[in-house]
Amino acid sequence: MSSHSEIKRVTVPQLVACKGQRKIVALTAHNYSTARIIDEYVDFILIGDSTAMVAYGLPDTLTITIEQIGQHTAAVVRATQHACVVADMPFGSYQESAAQAFRNAAHLIGKGATAVKLEGGVVMAETVRYLVERGIPVMAHVGLMPQYVNTMGGYLAQGRSPEAAARILAEAEALEQAGAFAIVLEGVAEALGETITAALAIPTIGIGASVKCDGQILVTEDMLGLSGERVPKFVKRYANLEEMMRSSVQHYAEEVRASQFPEPQHCFGIKRT
């Protein structure tokens, strides 16, 4: 067993052990450059199906494929040494049957992911159990599930009535019982985020949920100000990289047009033998 790589990533049991001890920090990434920078600051990196929107400009998350998520996963794995890498199962890659889910989850594990994430409540419990029993750690995802955008009729906050809240709590409990090691709570009423976090033994990862969740995740482009003006209410902008990029590119263009770049230090001399 001495040939195992030297890379010591955060493991799934370590993420689970964070519950009640310390907060879990997570971000998304889909490319080498970003993953390399964020690696040391986060506990896990998600190759989200939001890659469809932020990397490909698609209108929703529904058409990204397992091959595309696989390629992005491989790039993120190559860039990182510390964070646990979780890959999202795209729409249509797991809903058909548990066997289909296993085949596609194994594709992502083959690209270097440690775990997969999938959306859905009670209806997905059997699939979660199937994957976990066969060695694939699963992060569940309930509340606002972007893959259900057509069913929901938009990206609407969930669990805002007592009945809806009770249903989402029951779904989270079913997914925990099926063996999910963590669960993303997206776009749910704050009180529900707190209730689910208290009710479950596995960590909850909030995105538009509650500060009481065991961890938080954001789409990196959203929090860095790289995804345009319109972002969901739950996004906090920690930087405005769009502004920085625009002024840097403008500066570069001006210098090129004025023959001020490249300067002597950017040029090669002739080697005299």
Q: Note the residues at the interface with ligand KIV (CB under 6 A).
A: 28, 46, 48-50, 88, 184, 186, 207, 217, 219
Residue nearest to ligand KIV (CB): 48
Which residue is listed with tokens 């972007």? 146
Exposure string of 239-273, with b = 16+ CB inside 10 Å and e = fewer, is eebeeeeeeeeeeeeeeeeeeeeeeeeeeeeeeee
One of 119, 171, 186, 194 is an active-site residue; which one?
A: 186
| Max Cα–Cα distance, the chain, nearest Å | 82
Shortest gap between Cβ of 186 and ligand KIV (angstroms)?
Answer: 6
Q: How far is the CB of 163 from ligand KIV (least distance, A)?
A: 25
User: What is the number of other CB atoms lying within 10 angstroms of the CB of residue 86?
Assistant: 30
In the block, which residue shows the tokens 């570069």? 252
Give burial (CB, 10 Å; 0-12/13-18/19+) of 5. exposed
Residue 263 is among the residues annotated as catalytic for this protein = no
Please report how close the Cβ of residue 106 comes to ligand KIV at its closest, in angstroms. Answer: 20
From CA 145, how far away is CA 217, in angstroms rounded?
A: 14
CA atoms in the 13 A half-sphere facing the CB of 93: 28
Specify the residue, 49 or 171, whose C-beta has the smaller distance to ligand KIV: 49
Beta carbon nearer to ligand KIV, 179 or 206: 206
Q: How far is the CB of 227 from ligand KIV (least distance, A)?
A: 11
Smallest distance, Å, CB 202 to ligand KIV?
A: 16
Nearer to ligand KIV among residue 86 and residue 189 (C-beta): 86
Give the number of other Cβ atoms within 10 Å of residue 132's Cβ. Answer: 16
Nearer to ligand KIV, 238 or 252 (CB): 238
Positions marked active-site:
186
